[in-house]
Amino acid sequence: MDAFFVNVHLLENPEDRGKPLAVGGKPGQRSVIASASYEARELGVRSAMASSKALKLCPKLKLVSSNRPKIRACSTKVMNILSRYGVLERMSVDEAFVDISSQANPPALVKTILKRIKDETKLPASAGLSTSKLVSKITGFDVQPNKAIVGANAFAHEAGIHQDGMLKHSGTYEIMTPESVGLKETKLVLGKHSGKHAFSVCLLYTSPSPRD
Protein backbone atom coordinates (compact mmCIF):
# COMPACT_ATOMS: atom_id res chain seq x y z
CA MET A 1 0.00 0.00 0.00
CA ASP A 2 1.20 3.53 -0.77
CA ALA A 3 1.79 5.84 2.24
CA PHE A 4 -0.81 3.70 3.98
CA PHE A 5 -1.15 5.47 7.33
CA VAL A 6 -1.30 8.88 5.65
CA ASN A 7 -3.91 7.79 3.11
CA VAL A 8 -6.05 6.20 5.82
CA HIS A 9 -5.95 9.55 7.64
CA LEU A 10 -7.03 11.34 4.44
CA LEU A 11 -10.13 9.18 4.14
CA GLU A 12 -11.59 10.96 7.18
CA ASN A 13 -9.69 14.24 6.78
CA PRO A 14 -9.81 15.16 3.08
CA GLU A 15 -9.00 18.79 3.94
CA ASP A 16 -5.41 17.66 4.58
CA ARG A 17 -4.98 16.41 1.01
CA GLY A 18 -2.16 18.17 -0.83
CA LYS A 19 -0.42 19.30 2.35
CA PRO A 20 2.95 18.16 3.74
CA LEU A 21 1.55 15.54 6.10
CA ALA A 22 3.00 12.79 8.26
CA VAL A 23 1.70 10.23 10.71
CA GLY A 24 3.97 9.81 13.71
CA GLY A 25 4.70 10.60 17.32
CA LYS A 26 5.19 14.04 18.76
CA PRO A 27 8.73 15.45 18.84
CA GLY A 28 10.59 15.32 22.14
CA GLN A 29 9.50 11.74 22.83
CA ARG A 30 12.13 9.93 20.71
CA SER A 31 9.30 9.40 18.24
CA VAL A 32 9.59 8.71 14.52
CA ILE A 33 7.61 9.22 11.33
CA ALA A 34 5.49 6.19 10.46
CA SER A 35 4.27 7.45 7.09
CA ALA A 36 4.71 10.61 5.03
CA SER A 37 2.71 12.10 2.18
CA TYR A 38 4.38 12.66 -1.17
CA GLU A 39 4.25 16.42 -0.53
CA ALA A 40 6.26 15.84 2.65
CA ARG A 41 8.66 13.46 0.91
CA GLU A 42 9.50 16.12 -1.64
CA LEU A 43 10.76 18.23 1.28
CA GLY A 44 12.95 15.45 2.64
CA VAL A 45 10.63 13.81 5.17
CA ARG A 46 10.93 10.03 5.27
CA SER A 47 9.48 7.11 7.19
CA ALA A 48 11.53 6.11 10.27
CA MET A 49 12.94 9.64 10.50
CA ALA A 50 12.86 11.27 13.93
CA SER A 51 9.83 13.55 14.19
CA SER A 52 12.01 16.40 15.46
CA LYS A 53 14.23 16.17 12.36
CA ALA A 54 11.20 16.02 10.07
CA LEU A 55 9.85 19.25 11.55
CA LYS A 56 13.21 20.95 11.09
CA LEU A 57 13.28 19.95 7.44
CA CYS A 58 9.67 20.92 6.93
CA PRO A 59 8.40 23.48 9.48
CA LYS A 60 4.96 23.47 7.83
CA LEU A 61 4.65 19.71 8.24
CA LYS A 62 1.34 18.65 9.74
CA LEU A 63 2.03 15.82 12.16
CA VAL A 64 -0.92 13.65 13.17
CA SER A 65 -1.37 10.55 15.31
CA SER A 66 -2.31 7.22 13.76
CA ASN A 67 -5.90 6.03 13.93
CA ARG A 68 -5.15 2.42 14.74
CA PRO A 69 -8.74 1.09 14.65
CA LYS A 70 -9.26 2.66 11.21
CA ILE A 71 -5.87 1.39 9.99
CA ARG A 72 -6.70 -2.16 11.12
CA ALA A 73 -10.13 -1.98 9.47
CA CYS A 74 -8.68 -0.74 6.17
CA SER A 75 -5.94 -3.37 6.28
CA THR A 76 -8.52 -6.10 6.78
CA LYS A 77 -10.49 -4.88 3.75
CA VAL A 78 -7.38 -4.90 1.56
CA MET A 79 -6.27 -8.34 2.73
CA ASN A 80 -9.76 -9.74 2.13
CA ILE A 81 -9.64 -8.46 -1.45
CA LEU A 82 -6.20 -9.98 -2.03
CA SER A 83 -7.22 -13.34 -0.57
CA ARG A 84 -9.83 -13.75 -3.32
CA TYR A 85 -7.14 -14.16 -5.95
CA GLY A 86 -4.70 -16.64 -4.44
CA VAL A 87 -2.88 -17.86 -1.37
CA LEU A 88 -2.21 -14.81 0.79
CA GLU A 89 0.87 -14.36 2.95
CA ARG A 90 0.49 -11.22 5.02
CA MET A 91 3.79 -9.53 5.83
CA SER A 92 2.57 -6.47 7.72
CA VAL A 93 -0.47 -4.24 8.06
CA ASP A 94 0.13 -2.81 4.57
CA GLU A 95 2.12 -5.45 2.69
CA ALA A 96 1.45 -8.98 1.50
CA PHE A 97 2.39 -11.61 -1.06
CA VAL A 98 -0.27 -13.31 -3.19
CA ASP A 99 0.44 -16.40 -5.29
CA ILE A 100 -1.29 -15.86 -8.64
CA SER A 101 1.02 -18.18 -10.60
CA SER A 102 -1.90 -20.41 -11.60
CA GLN A 103 -3.81 -17.55 -13.20
CA ALA A 104 -3.98 -17.30 -17.00
CA ASN A 105 -2.86 -13.68 -17.27
CA PRO A 106 -1.11 -12.44 -14.10
CA PRO A 107 -0.16 -8.96 -15.46
CA ALA A 108 -3.76 -8.19 -16.35
CA LEU A 109 -4.96 -9.60 -13.05
CA VAL A 110 -2.63 -7.32 -11.11
CA LYS A 111 -4.24 -4.29 -12.76
CA THR A 112 -7.66 -5.68 -11.87
CA ILE A 113 -6.63 -6.17 -8.23
CA LEU A 114 -5.25 -2.64 -7.92
CA LYS A 115 -8.41 -1.16 -9.42
CA ARG A 116 -10.58 -3.20 -7.09
CA ILE A 117 -8.62 -2.04 -4.03
CA LYS A 118 -9.00 1.57 -5.16
CA ASP A 119 -12.71 1.21 -5.91
CA GLU A 120 -13.60 -0.63 -2.69
CA THR A 121 -11.35 1.12 -0.17
CA LYS A 122 -10.53 4.48 -1.85
CA LEU A 123 -6.87 3.78 -1.03
CA PRO A 124 -3.99 3.77 -3.54
CA ALA A 125 -1.94 0.60 -3.86
CA SER A 126 1.08 -0.62 -5.78
CA ALA A 127 2.19 -4.10 -6.78
CA GLY A 128 5.20 -5.96 -8.06
CA LEU A 129 4.92 -9.06 -10.23
CA SER A 130 7.74 -11.59 -10.22
CA THR A 131 8.63 -15.27 -10.24
CA SER A 132 9.23 -15.59 -6.48
CA LYS A 133 8.87 -13.78 -3.18
CA LEU A 134 12.58 -13.02 -3.00
CA VAL A 135 12.63 -11.50 -6.47
CA SER A 136 9.51 -9.54 -5.59
CA LYS A 137 11.16 -8.19 -2.49
CA ILE A 138 14.31 -7.19 -4.31
CA THR A 139 12.93 -5.77 -7.54
CA GLY A 140 9.16 -5.67 -7.44
CA PHE A 141 8.60 -3.08 -4.71
CA ASP A 142 9.92 0.23 -3.54
CA VAL A 143 11.69 -1.03 -0.44
CA GLN A 144 10.26 0.53 2.69
CA PRO A 145 12.29 1.62 5.72
CA ASN A 146 12.72 -1.04 8.43
CA LYS A 147 12.20 -3.89 5.95
CA ALA A 148 15.12 -6.19 5.22
CA ILE A 149 15.72 -7.39 1.65
CA VAL A 150 18.01 -10.09 0.35
CA GLY A 151 21.22 -8.83 -1.23
CA ALA A 152 24.77 -7.76 -0.49
CA ASN A 153 23.64 -5.03 1.91
CA ALA A 154 20.40 -6.59 3.10
CA PHE A 155 21.41 -6.72 6.76
CA ALA A 156 23.80 -3.75 6.87
CA HIS A 157 22.33 -1.10 9.14
CA GLU A 158 23.69 2.46 9.05
CA ALA A 159 21.02 4.70 10.63
CA GLY A 160 21.74 5.23 14.32
CA ILE A 161 18.21 4.58 15.60
CA HIS A 162 18.06 1.38 13.52
CA GLN A 163 21.43 0.22 14.82
CA ASP A 164 20.48 0.76 18.45
CA GLY A 165 17.13 -1.00 18.02
CA MET A 166 18.65 -3.87 16.05
CA LEU A 167 21.37 -4.42 18.67
CA LYS A 168 18.74 -4.57 21.40
CA HIS A 169 16.37 -6.79 19.43
CA SER A 170 17.05 -7.64 15.79
CA GLY A 171 13.42 -8.53 15.13
CA THR A 172 12.53 -4.85 15.42
CA TYR A 173 14.16 -3.97 12.11
CA GLU A 174 14.58 -7.29 10.29
CA ILE A 175 11.76 -9.43 8.93
CA MET A 176 14.08 -12.41 8.43
CA THR A 177 17.38 -13.59 9.87
CA PRO A 178 20.72 -13.43 8.03
CA GLU A 179 21.07 -17.19 8.55
CA SER A 180 17.83 -17.83 6.64
CA VAL A 181 19.45 -16.59 3.43
CA GLY A 182 22.94 -18.03 3.95
CA LEU A 183 24.61 -15.09 5.69
CA LYS A 184 26.56 -15.42 8.91
CA GLU A 185 25.63 -12.22 10.70
CA THR A 186 24.13 -8.77 10.66
CA LYS A 187 26.62 -6.03 9.79
CA LEU A 188 26.92 -2.55 11.25
CA VAL A 189 28.11 0.27 9.02
CA LEU A 190 29.60 3.15 10.96
CA GLY A 191 28.55 6.47 9.48
CA LYS A 192 27.52 9.99 10.38
CA HIS A 193 24.20 8.72 11.73
CA SER A 194 25.71 6.06 14.00
CA GLY A 195 25.41 6.40 17.76
CA LYS A 196 27.39 5.38 20.85
CA HIS A 197 25.89 1.89 20.98
CA ALA A 198 26.99 0.93 17.46
CA PHE A 199 30.41 2.55 17.88
CA SER A 200 31.13 0.69 21.11
CA VAL A 201 30.10 -2.65 19.58
CA CYS A 202 32.29 -2.12 16.49
CA LEU A 203 35.19 -1.01 18.67
CA LEU A 204 34.84 -4.17 20.74
CA TYR A 205 35.22 -6.37 17.66
CA THR A 206 38.01 -4.42 15.98
CA SER A 207 40.31 -3.84 18.96
CA PRO A 208 41.18 -6.40 21.64
CA SER A 209 42.17 -3.65 24.07
CA PRO A 210 40.30 -0.45 23.24
CA ARG A 211 41.63 2.74 24.79
CA ASP A 212 39.64 5.72 26.00
Q: Is 95 part of the annotated catalytic residue set?
A: yes
Of the candidates 39, 42, 95, 185, the residue annotated as catalytic is 95
Q: What are phi and psi of 55, to 5 degrees?
A: -70, -30
Residue 129 CA, distance from chain mean position: 19
Helices (H), the chain: 4-12, 38-41, 51-57, 68-83, 106-121, 133-135, 160-168, 196-206
Give the DSSP H or E segment for 79. Answer: helix 68-83
Pairing status of strand 95-99 against strand 87-92: antiparallel
Q: Considering only CA atoms, which of 13, 4, 12, 71 is closest in space to residue 38?
A: 4
Residue type at position 9 = H
Active site residues: 95
